[in-house]
Structure 1
Amino acid sequence: MRYQIKQRLLAVRPTFDIANESGEPILVGEGKLFVLAAEVVIRSLSGEEFVRVKQQLFSWRPRFEITQQGRPLATVARRWTLRPRYTIGLAGGGELLVAGSLFEHEFRFLAGEEPVALVSRAMWSLRDTYGVDVFRPEYDAVVLAVVIAIDSVRTQRERSAG
């Protein structure tokens, strides 16, 4: 399945619109205001919670908990490497690796050596825009949530730099 994630440009809080391959909006991710750690709730257009992404506050490296309907779905942690790499521990067992390009414009989600998803961030855009191709539908929720978590890490790093 192909998705497009766009961050709203003039939103008061971090807000993401998620569209399907036809360009039709299907989900909305809204961040919380005035919190120390990033938290985004992704909802259907009817308002039902689809998935929640919450950053752990006290951690040496960026770490996120992803829940679906109140149940743990995955844990995401950034590795200490020059290139952006993330490990995703799945609640049902197993692990995914996210390997990114040096400037964080391309990401590959891998289950072992098998590609699960590819993500590409638009280079020349006023707002953050991601093209997301998920090859295995059971990972849709995890991949969409992790893309927003990675965007949060990148945004925090840019703000602290300057």
Structure 2
Amino acid sequence: MRFLVRERLFAVGDDYWIEDAGGRKVFLVDGKAMRLRDTFELKDPSGRVLVRSRQKLLSLRDTMVVERDGEQLAEIRRKRLSLLRNHYRVTLVDGTVLDVSGRILDREFAIEYDGELLAQISRRWLTVRDTYGIDIVREDADAALLLAVAICVIVLADKDHDG
């Protein structure tokens, strides 16, 4: 499954669509303005909230939490020792750990579980300026979760770079 994301993203309060490879709007990212922390909801085309992501207020390192139906699903934070590339760890509530690494600011990175590629985020496939693709490799993967993870990692990396 390949999705296209327009790069005018990640300003608090921005809403934007994620499209499939055919150009159909499949997910709405609803940025929530006027909040103390970065918050967004990933919705289906009918407006149903699939996952909600928010910045955790009290943590030593910037952390984002992904929730589904009010229950925490995952926590995302930068790994402590990552000198050469950006590395983030996604810890699911069941203890499963996903690894996110690559050139996040360049939108060239991967999401993996135990060495298996789950999703590839890249601008390489596209000729449209300010757009990147999210290619979810496994058909049985939770697309909403992986999209939320990619967005959260980009938000965290951008904040780290700017601050």
The verdict on a shared fold, with TM-score over 0.5 as the criterion, is yes
TM superposition shift of 1:155: 3.5
CA distance in 2, matches of 1:112, 1:25: 31
Structure 1 residue 17 corresponds to structure 2 residue 17: yes
Q: What is the alpha-carbon distance in structure 2 between the residues aligned to residue 50 and residue 103 of structure 1? A: 26
Aligned 8 A contact 1:62 1:77 in 2: yes
Distance 1:106 1:35 in 2: 29
Structure 2 gap ranges (5+): none
Q: State the 1:126 CA deviation.
A: 6.7
* Superposition deviation, residue 4 in structure 1: 1.2
Q: Structure 1 pair 30/64, CA: closer, same or farther in 2 (3 Å)?
A: same
Preserved contact between residue 77 and residue 87 of structure 1 (Cα < 8 Å): yes
- The structural deviation recorded for 1:104 is 3.7
Aligned residues, how many? Answer: 158
CA drift at 1:115: 0.8
Residues 1:4 and 2:4 aligned together: yes
2:142 counterpart SS class: helix
Match of 1:60 in 2: 60
Aligned partner of residue 153 in structure 1, secondary structure: helix
Please tell me whether the aligned partners of residues 7 and 15 of structure 1 are also in contact (alpha carbons under 8 angstroms).
Answer: no
Given that 1:61 and 1:79 are in contact with CA atoms closer than 8 Å, whether structure 2 keeps it comes out as: no
- Distance across 2 between alignment mates of 1:5 and 1:95: 25
Deviation track 1:28-61 (CA, whole Å, cap 9, x = no partner) reads 1111112221000111121110111111012222
Residue 99 of structure 1: aligned partner: 101
Structure 1 partner of 2:142: 139
Q: 1:78 to 1:158 in 2, by over 3 A?
A: closer
2:88 pairs with 1:86: yes
TM (norm. structure 2) is 0.83
Query: Unaligned stretches of 5+ in structure 1?
Result: none
Cα offsets for 1:110-150 (capped at 9, x unmatched): 111111110014799775x3201111232312210012112
Rounded to whole Å, the distance in 2 between the matches of 1:156 and 1:98 is: 17
Percent identical pairs in the alignment equals 30
Report the TM-score, using the length of structure 1 for normalisation.
Answer: 0.83
Letter in 1 for 2:30: E
Contact 2:42 2:144 in 1 (8 A): no
Q: Match for residue 37 of structure 1? A: 37
Q: Which SS does the other structure have where 1:138 is aligned? A: coil
Which residue is equivalent to 2:51? Answer: 51
Counterpart-to-counterpart distance in 1, 2:43 and 2:67: 12
Does the aligned pair in 2 maintain the 1:2–1:134 contact within 8 Å? yes
